[in-house]
Amino acid sequence: MSETLLQVTGLKKYFNVGKKQILKAVDDVSFSIEKGKTLGLVGESGCGKTTVGRTLLRIYEPDGGTILFDGQDISHVSKQKSRELTKKMQMIFQDPYASLNPFFTVGEIVAEGLQIHKICKSRAEERERVNELLTMVGLSKDHANRFPHEFSGGQRQRVGIARALALDPEFIVCDEAISALDVSIQAQVVNMLMEFQRELGLTYLFIAHDLSMVRHIADQTAVMYLGTLVEYGDTNEVYSHPVHPYTQGLLSAVPVADPDYEKTHQRIPMDGEVGSPINPKPGCRFCGRCRKATDICRTETPVLRDMGGGHRAACHNV
Ligand SMILES: Nc1ncnc2c1ncn2[C@@H]1O[C@H](COP(=O)(O)OP(=O)(O)OP(=O)(O)O)[C@@H](O)[C@H]1O
Ligand SMILES: [Mg+2]
């Protein structure tokens, strides 16, 4: 039996951006992730992916909805409890350079969490754990004394992963963790993440622009548009039978390395404005760009409906 690690219901995160201007970065988003599995979260820049990740990790206080982690409601917790949660929930960032303190050695960076949470009983034990973590991510203990600028982008991301693994977490948000890396290095890092998942039973929220990488790593995929989920289901289903016009458009823009396919394949254009998450109007947020939009789309907000087998889409016309 599979167990749910994370159950998110009706999550909202709003930002006040001026007089009566409310930016609805995440607006009524629901999904769940099973233990040891990966949910891919895709969508255009600014649609709210990072905000979902940061709200789950309680960097942001949610403005509505509930987050159940291992059955426990963590939507609103004390500072103390939130510190404890950071042991179980970690994040890997897009830009490994900006997210690593340049004045700390790699050893100090990886050890920081161990020290904050007083995990090791002695300096020697700490050093040993740091060496173990560096080895796990394909670096060596000699790297511990060097500074982030002495590493390549791929190596720096390995340091970021070692830091995230230091506290033995159960859940990791990988926010564009590979987007800044060379294509060849991307595959190495993704394979490493998948290996850790198998070995350590980790659960991931994998945020990415690159749809083909998400197909490779994610068991389930959620497609986000302007703060809302428009489609969600098993990755194979979503990729082979996308039902929401937005998902269809996104997927049709992905290049496929097959000349025959490219000859017959049609790109679905997505014209019009992306729209604004500030004071959004009722109705479907994609409707201004949608080929299939009808009157109801302009007035009624569609909700995610099951199309069969847990494949859900929020569209009035499917
Ligand atoms: N702290 C903040 N204050 C105000 N607005 C914010 C804040 N953080 C994010 N936003 C806004 O919320 C929306 C969603 O931002 P978010 O960073 O979650 O998008 P994203 O999908 O991660 O984009 P990208 O793919 O570019 O990383 C954007 O309109 C952004 O400007
Ligand atoms: Mg982001």
Render pLDDT for 154-204 as a digit per residue (tens, 0 to 9).
999 999 999 999 999 999 999 999 888 888 899 999 999 999 999 999 999
The pTM of the full predicted model, rounded to 2 decimals, is 0.94
305 phi, psi to nearest 5 deg: -120, 145
Residue nearest to atom 12 of ligand 1 (CA): 25
Protein residue whose Cα sits closest to atom 17 of ligand 1: 50
Could you tell me whether strands 171-175 and 64-69 are parallel, antiparallel, or unpaired per DSSP bridges?
A: unpaired
Ramachandran category for residue 18: left, alpha or beta (phi over 0 → left; psi -120 to 50 → alpha): left
**What is the 8-class DSSP label of residue 149?**
G
Determine the pLDDT at residue 94: 84
Per-residue pLDDT of the chain (318 residues; tens, 9 = 90+): 679 999 999 999 999 998 889 999 999 999 999 999 999 999 999 999 999 999 999 999 999 999 999 999 999 999 899 989 999 999 998 877 788 999 999 999 999 999 999 999 999 999 999 999 999 999 999 999 999 999 998 999 999 999 999 999 999 999 999 888 888 899 999 999 999 999 999 999 999 988 889 999 999 999 999 999 999 999 999 999 999 999 999 998 877 666 666 666 677 777 777 788 998 888 999 999 998 999 999 999 999 999 999 999 999 998
> How close is the Cα of 86 to the center of ligand 1, in Å?
22
The distance of Cα 209 from the centroid of its chain, to the nearest Å, equals 10
CA 120 – ligand 2 centroid, Å:
34
Query: Residue 19 and residue 17: Cα distance in Å, rounded?
Result: 7
Helices (H) and strands (E) in the chain, counts: 11, 12
| Of the candidates 186, 90, 88, 106, the residue with the CA atom closest to the CA atom of residue 142 | 106
Rg over alpha carbons for the chain, rounded to the nearest Å, is 21
Model confidence pLDDT, tens digit, residues 11-45:
999 999 988 899 999 999 999 999 999 999 999 99
Indicate if ligand 1 lies below 6 Å from the C-beta of 278.
Answer: no
Atom 3 of ligand 1, residue of closest alpha carbon: 15
Instruction: Give the contacts of 315 (CB within 8 A, at least 6 positions apart).
Output: 230, 243, 244, 245, 284, 292, 302
**What's the CA-to-centroid distance between 91 and ligand 1, angstroms?**
16
Pocket test for ligand 1, best of 11, 50, 205, 230 (most atoms within 8 A of CB): 50
Give me the sign of the Cα torsion angle 152, 155, 159, 164.
Answer: positive
Of all ligands present, the nearest one to the C-alpha of 93 is: 2
Ligand 1: nearest atom to the Cα of 47? 21
